[in-house]
Amino acid sequence: MGTMLQSDEIVITPFEHQVGGHKVVLQISKKLICKPREDSEVEFYRRLPEHLKECVPHFKGEIQVQYVENDSGFQLRTKLPINLQQDFQNESDMQMDNHCINANSKLCSCDIIKLEHSSNNSMKRTSEANTKSCKTCHTSDWSNQCLKRTMQQYALWSTSCSQQFIVLENLLADFNNPCILDMKLGRKQRAFDCTEAKRQLLESRCANSTSASLGFRICGMQLFQKNTGEYISQDKYIGRALDDEGAQLNLKQYFHDGITERRKEMLNIVEKLQHIHTAMSEQTVFSFMSVSLLLIYDSSADGKIDARLIDFANAVVAEDSSLDEHHKECNADLLFGLSSIISIIQGFLS
């Protein structure tokens, strides 16, 4: 979470509840997160019809994230625009986890990416992230992996110390012990301007997972267990390996807090998913080549849930508000996945 510096900059850190995705999500405050900017995703939010706004996270704007080296490694800093600065006027939002950011506003040692000089004097970044969640700051291993991947594979900050990010509402802001399920929707997965090799990889990934049969695959899960007071989690590699029965059992496990089955949460999530399904079936503005679904409930509250579509880098704006057959197929895949999830959860309630 971000902390204010004397220069009106804030230091931001990896989002501790990130369970899926390729690139890092950073936490600005209790209410705000940010992720690397994609032109198509910004266009999606700017063209978003009113009736779809409750189906997705609220878009708050754009910021520049600075990469700043220090004695221990580096910091990621930003200056918030005036319309977002009020988020820091509330003292409760400024309650920092002292384990994550010390008195000098440096990252926890498990998050620091040190700079090592190779023999040819080029800079190479290596991560010290633990193989499990950090027991001190609770930052998930997946968020550490995403930070490393964002800097190495996607080369953010490699050519410039400043990169554009988009700011979104933190859907978990009001959840005390959030249980999260991240799922990729659709029987096929498509991407903008991908190479033939990447296209074949995406096709193979879907054909050899529950995407092809169920219309979704599980990409990450975080589950708070009330019997132990600890989180358990799994990453996308487990989800890819599941067959249909395994995916349904995994989904059922998500609705068990270690003591009881969360039937009220099932009912409320089904209702929210049905609303999303109706809204998406009526829209004709976008074609979703690839999109994810995030399910959330609070293990420490009765019936408190949320469900949103996320990740719109591969959302296509239809020309003249008219979808061709290929784009209609993309949206039909999304709706098939939503229907499948609804049907499975309803089966748990039968």
* Closest alpha carbon to 244 in 208, 213, 220, 207: 213
* Right CATH for 178-349 from 1.20.120.640, 3.40.50.1980, 3.30.470.160, 3.10.20.740: 3.30.470.160
* pLDDT at 138 exceeding the cut of 70: no
pLDDT above 60 (res 128): no
Count of Cβ atoms closer than 10 Å to residue 300 Cβ: 13
Give the tens place of pLDDT for each residue, 188-246. Answer: 776 666 677 776 777 777 777 899 999 999 999 999 999 999 999 999 889 999 999 99
Q: Is 233 exposed, middle or buried (0-12, 13-18, 19+ CB in 10 A)?
A: middle
How far apart, in whole angstroms, are the C-alpha atoms of residue 226 and residue 206? 34
Look at the chain and count its residues: 350
CB 14 within 8 Å of CB 144? yes
Spatial distance between the Cα atoms of 99 and 283, rounded to a whole number of angstroms:
45
pLDDT above 90: percentage of residues in the chain: 55
Strand partners, 117: 123
d(CA 145, CA 15): 12
**CA-CA distances (angstroms) from residue 81 to 33, 35, 166?**
14, 16, 12
How far are the Cα atoms of 21, 40, 251 from residue 177, in angstroms, in the given order? Answer: 21, 33, 18
DSSP at 24: -
Q: What is the pLDDT of residue 5?
A: 56
Question: What DSSP string runs through 93-149?
Answer: GG---TTTB-TT-PBPTTT-EEEEE-TTS-EEEEE---SS--TTT---HHHHHHHHH
Mean pLDDT of 54-65: 96
Angle of the 325-349 helix axis to the 263-282 helix axis, nearest 10: 160
pLDDT tens across 251-260, in order? 999 999 999 9
The residues, ordered by sequence, that sit 6+ positions from 231 with a Cβ below 8 Å of its Cβ are 133, 222, 223, 224, 225
- Alpha-carbon span 11 to 28, nearest angstrom: 8
Q: Where in the chain is the domain with CATH 3.30.470.160?
A: 178-349
Summarize the confidence of residues 264-270 as an average pLDDT. Answer: 98
The helix (run of H) or strand (run of E) holding residue 45 is helix 39-46
Q: Is pLDDT at 4 greater than 50 in this prediction?
A: yes
Pairing of strands 162-169, 32-36: antiparallel
Instruction: Give the CA radius of gyration of the chain.
Output: 20
- DSSP letter at 296? E
Digit-coded pLDDT (tens) for 270-323: 999 999 999 999 998 898 988 999 999 999 999 999 999 999 998 988 765 556
pLDDT digits over 12-35, tens only?
999 999 998 888 999 999 999 999
Between CA 86 and CA 74 the distance in angstroms is: 27
The backbone region for 320, taken as left when phi is positive above 0, alpha when psi lies in -120 to 50, beta otherwise, is: left
